[in-house]
Amino acid sequence: MSVALYRIDDRLIHGQVVVGWGQALGAGFLVLADDGVRGSDWEQELYRMGVPSDMEVRFASVAEAVAAVPAWESDPRTGIVLTGSIEAMAALCAGAPTVRKVNVGGIHFRAGRTERLRYVFLAADEAAALRKLASAGVVVTAQDLPTAAPVPLEGFT
Amino acid sequence: MSEPLRGIVLAHADLAAALVGAARSIAGDDTGLTPLSNAGCDRAAIAARLEAAIGAGPALIFTDLAGGSCTTVAATVARNRPELRVVAGANLAMLLEFAFHRAEPLDAVAERVAAAGRAAVREVGR
């Protein structure tokens, strides 16, 4: 097995990720690549709270994640790698070219963003960043839950 | 005598409104409970909604799913603020316990509602 899901989700580790995707994929490990949480033991403990004991949770900086992708890709278990922002995922893809598919799972409203899908709000520069990722050969789709149909990039940027 | 505690129910989709509505149908309108949803919000927006509902405090925050976004945000907001407590796993029994005992001190009410919520989960009819 390998990493089955590279996901952008600004709620980080939460129910949709752990229950929705984790159960459907039979995930054995979950990585949150986030520089802020990586530096906070307290936040790590908080995010561990919602993860079942049979799923390993790791916290990495984006730079650490870039270095670790080959190991995660060869892990015999199924994995999920999560970032909280497009910027972090773009950096991960740039440093780890084996990442070929990205799931936009949740980017919520903020001033300057417009609604593209019920769970995806993007500013113009964020939409451009996703298109840039796609132009580099990464397949970018939006899908909040595994039971929903993936929406191609053209459908929300 | 101090004001009765304020309770805030923060949950996914329409759950908080439904739970608070159910509590009011049993305990009357004066439950002290305010429903909030995380719908359409990132963590910062959930926190902003919560802060607006808390006001001056003290307050007890009920969340639905331990490990869900409502709980992680509520715990972050309440960190190092003794006037706030968070209890995850909200159910109707817990909210009713709050409605009838919210004149008591915050820490005592937090313990009381958590116990009531746990006691309400049971297998029946066997």
Are A107 and A151 in contact by the 8 Å Cβ rule? The answer is no
**Other CB atoms within 10 Å distance of the CB of residue B30:** 10
Q: What is the pTM of this model?
A: 0.90
Contacts of B42 in chain A (CB under 8 A): 10-11, 106-110
Domain contains B52: yes
Structurally, chain B folds into a number of domains equal to 1
Measure the CA angle with vertex A122, ends A121 and A126; round to 5°.
150
| Nearest Cα to Cα of residue A64 among A95, A87, A41 | A95
Radius of gyration of chain B (CA): 14
How many Cα neighbours within 13 Å face the side chain of A79? 25
Instruction: Assign residue B40 the CATH number of its domain.
Output: 3.40.50.510
pLDDT in tens, A2-49: 999 999 999 999 999 999 999 999 999 999 999 999 999 999 999 999
Domain contains B51: yes
User: B24: domain range?
Assistant: 6-119
Interface test with B, best of A13, A23, A108, A109 (most B CBs within 10 A): A108
Grouping H, G, I as helix, E, B as strand and the rest as coil, residue B6 is strand
What residue type is B84 in one-letter code?
L
Domain contains B46: yes
User: Within an 8 Å CB–CB cutoff, is residue A113 touching chain B?
Assistant: no
Q: Which residue among A15, A107, A110 sits closest to B68, beta carbon to beta carbon?
A: A15
Alpha carbon of A7 to those of A12, A25, A48, B20, B109: distances in Å? Answer: 9, 13, 18, 34, 39
Q: CB–CB of B69 and A11 under 8 A? A: yes
Rounded mean pLDDT of chain B? 95
pLDDT in tens, B35-58: 999 999 999 999 999 999 998 879
Domain contains B125: no
- Ordered structural domains, chain A, with CATH: 3-155 (3.40.35.10)
Q: What is the pLDDT of residue B55?
A: 87
pLDDT band at B1 (very low <50, low <70, confident <90, very high): low
